[in-house]
Structure 1
Amino acid sequence: MRMFTILLIEDDETLFSEIKTRLSQWSYDVYGVKDFDRVLQEYTDLKPDLVIIDIQLPKFDGFHWCRMIRSHSNVPIIFLSSRDHPTDMVMSMQLGADDFVQKPFYFDVLIAKIQAILRRVYNYNNEQIQLKTWCGAAVDFEKNTVSNEHGTIELSKNEMFILKRLIEQKNKIVSREQLIKSLWEDERFISDNTLTVNVNRLRKRLDELRLGSCIETKVGQGYIAREEADPR
């Protein structure tokens, strides 16, 4: 079995040690940050499979470092926060985070989320169909890219996962409930607004290739991946 590497960006030494100990019991290789002024450099040096970031950190907050990491990589990211503001979750998803865990939390929940994300992200290479044509564009599920005559965009893991599920049932309505269950595996931990944020980000990226209209919202029902973009 592959040993996954996790970078835990947490300045509370007691909590860091507790999380590291528990994750190590599940055979995860956990590293912390030595210098909170050089988080991006330490991330680049380690090249982890997953990042867990606390929002409240010395110097710069977790949102800042998420932006920095996202400018270089689509590595899966989980936010931790002791704050209960809904805007924190929305901000996390808008920045490209894969999940959000509020403190205090049950370790079983955190581990389940980590396992689900790693399974979702790193099982792409095991799928038989890696390349598909949709709306005149080449969709590469392994490289997380969409290309047409207008260029190439690279999607986040969540964006590509949503697009893939919609394309698999193109021209059919995929309900919001189906997407939530498929994407996060347990809808109890995810708000309806989180899905909206992710779909809006996906559509905005596809607009760069003039494909945004290929994803249609059916109010009160879900979403449809059309085979052809609306010419209007």
Structure 2
Amino acid sequence: MYRIMICEDDPKLAALLSGHLEKYGYAAVLAQDFARVMETFQESDPHLVLLDVNLPKYDGFYWCRQIRLVSKCPILFISARDGEMDQVMALEYGADDYITKPFHYEVVMAKIRSQLRRVYGEYAPAEQERVIAQGGLVLYPERLELYWQGSRVLLTKREALLVELLLKRYPRVVSRESMLEKLWDESFVDENTLNVNITRVRKKLQELGLESALETIRGTGYRLVLAGESGERL
């Protein structure tokens, strides 16, 4: 399920956008603390961001620049400011589109679908697809998909990076330092960010029926267990 982060300080409009997104099968993440937008972005790891210009503390242009330092995910501005320079600034700072208020929700949904297809779907640049497999667990990194015995889960980019590292080093232990370095190549992370993503990977494996597939090696790191061993929970 694609996650869409909504950074809009009008609670009524944010709720309406969230409702429309969920109606179309997306998961909506609402920014609540507008002084901590990047923390919300890092924690939710969204596939696309809807970003207002007029926000408390810092404006949307500032947050657009901050997001672009760590991510290439699509950013769509939604703003009542309809001046040409506002739109030019948004695009110059890295936004992918600019939608002026008031807008039709169906137009917003269509633009979201278009961006998701362009970046993650049928219009994404074609290249030879990688497949990483061990013990029946199969990862498609470019699709962000993980398969086990015919079942599938959708991963975030960070989750996929961690699963890829675990699969490539299977059945060896992967140190926390190696995981932090892997995630650091994509964006700023800290120990807490790693813990959150490890927990998410464990839950995704459980969704596939692999209840104890991610073993914690105290003081060292983690390893995949695909042969019926029992791992220690984080």
Percent identity, please: 23
* CA shift in 2, pair 1:139/1:73, >3 Å: farther
Distance 1:167 1:92, change over 3 A: same
Q: Which runs of 5+ in 2 are unaligned?
A: 50-56, 75-118
Correspondence list, 1:67-216, <5 A: 68=21, 72=25, 81-84=33-36, 89=39, 93=43, 95-97=44-46, 104=58, 109-115=66-72, 126=127, 130-149=130-149, 151-185=151-185, 189-216=188-215
AA of the residue aligned to 2:46: A
The number of aligned residues is 173
* Contact 2:4–2:48 (Cα < 8 Å) also in 1: no
From the superposition, tell whether residues 143 and 220 of structure 1 become closer, same or farther in structure 2 (CA, over 3 Å).
same
TM-score computed with the length of structure 1 as normaliser? 0.53
Answer yes or no: is the 8 Å Cα contact 2:6–2:14 preserved in 1.
no
Contact 1:145–1:152 at 8 Å: present in 2 too?
A: yes
Q: SS where residue 152 of structure 1 aligns?
A: strand
Q: CA deviation at 1:158?
A: 2.2
- Structure 1 residues 208 and 96: alpha-carbon distance in aligned structure 2, compared to 1, 3 A threshold: same
Q: Which runs of 5+ in 1 are unaligned?
A: 1-42, 44-49
Take 1:143 and 1:69, find their aligned partners in 2: how far apart are those partners?
A: 22
CA offset at residue 186 of structure 1? 7.0
- Structure 1 CA distance for aligned equivalents of residues 160 and 192 of structure 2: 18
Structure with greater Cα Rg: 2
**Cα offset for 1:80?**
9.1
SS of the equivalent of 2:132 reads: strand
CA deviations 1:43-82 (Å, max 9, x no partner) are 9xxxxxx9664264431658x84994698459xx996953
Q: Distance in 1 between matches of 2:23 and 2:166?
A: 24
| Structure-2 separation of matches of 1:221 and 1:67 | 44
RMSD: 4.7
Distance 1:218-1:177 versus aligned 2 partners, 3 A rule: same
Determine helix, strand or coil for the equivalent of 2:219: coil
The residue that corresponds to 1:222 in the other structure is: 221
Asked if the contact 2:7–2:31 (Cα under 8 Å) also holds between the matched residues in 1, the reply is: yes
Q: Deviations over 1:122-167 (max 9, x none)?
A: 79965x5622332323322233222233622222222222111221
2-side partners of 1:161 and 1:83: how far apart?
A: 28
> How has the CA–CA distance of structure 1 residues 81 and 191 changed in structure 2, closer, same or farther, with 3 Å as cutoff?
farther
